[in-house]
Amino acid sequence: MMNQPQSFSASHQNSLPGEDDITRVELPNGIVILVRSNFNSPSVVLNGYLQVGSLFDPPEKLGLASFTADSLLLGTRSFDYNTIYDLLESAAASLGFDGGTHTTSFGGRSLVEDFDTLCKIFASALKEPTFPNEHVERKRAQIVTGLILRSQDTAEMASLTFDEIVFAQHPYRFPEEGTLETVQQITLEDLVHFHQRHYGPRGMVIVVVGAIEPSKAIEVLSEHLADWQNPQQPTPPKLPPLQPLTETVRRQVFIPGKSQVDLLIGSVGPQRTAPEYMSAAIGNNILGQFGLMGRVGDAVRERAGLAYYAYSSLNSGIGPGSWTIAAGVAPENVEQAIAIIRQEIERFVQEKVSEEELSDSQANFIGRLPLSLESNLGVAYALGNLERYGLGLNYYRQYADLVRSVTRQQVLETAQKYLDPHRLAIAIAGSLE
Q: Encode pLDDT of 303-330 as tens digits.
A: 999 999 999 999 999 999 999 999 999 9
Main-chain phi, psi angles of 311, to 5 degrees? -160, 170
Segment 353-357 shows an average pLDDT of 97
Answer yes or no: is pLDDT of 375 > 80.
Answer: yes
Residue 12 is predicted with a pLDDT of 54
pLDDT at 2 over 60: no
Give 314's contacts (C-beta < 8 A, 6+ positions apart). 269, 270, 280, 281, 284, 321, 322, 323
pLDDT digits (tens, 9 = 90+) for 16-41: 999 999 999 999 999 999 999 999 98
- pLDDT score for 14: 60
- The CATH number that domain 249-430 falls under is 3.30.830.10
Give pLDDT, residue 291.
84
Over residues 238-259, the mean pLDDT reads: 94
Q: How confident is the model at residue 433 (pLDDT cuts 50, 70, 90)?
A: low
Long-range contacts of 55-61 (CB under 8 A, 24+ apart): 55/101, 55/102, 55/171, 55/236, 55/237, 55/239, 56/194, 56/198, 56/234, 56/237, 57/174, 57/178, 59/174, 60/182, 60/185, 61/178, 61/182, 61/185, 61/186, 61/190
Q: What fold does the segment set 17-225 form as a domain?
A: Cytochrome Bc1 Complex; Chain A, domain 1 (3.30.830)
For the segment 215-227, the average pLDDT, to the nearest whole number, is 98
pLDDT at residue 3, rounded to an integer:
53
pLDDT at 432: 79
Q: pLDDT tens digits, residue range 119-143?
A: 999 999 999 999 999 999 999 999 9
pLDDT-derived band of residue 183, with 50, 70 and 90 as boundaries? Answer: very high
In the chain, what percentage of residues exceed pLDDT 70? 97
Supply the pLDDT for residue 1. Answer: 41
Q: Are 46 and 218 in contact (CB under 8 A)?
A: no
List, by residue range, all CATH 3.30.830.10 domains of the chain.
17-225, 249-430
Average pLDDT taken over every residue of the chain: 95
Distance in angstroms (rounded) separating the CA atoms of residues 120 and 349: 53
Question: For the segment 377-430, what is each residue's pLDDT rounded down to a tens digit?
Answer: 999 999 999 999 999 999 999 999 999 999 999 999 999 999 999 999 999 999
Q: What confidence score (pLDDT) does residue 13 get? A: 55
> What confidence tens digit (pLDDT) does each residue in 79-122 have?
999 999 999 999 999 999 999 999 999 999 999 999 999 999 99
Q: What is the pLDDT of residue 4?
A: 55
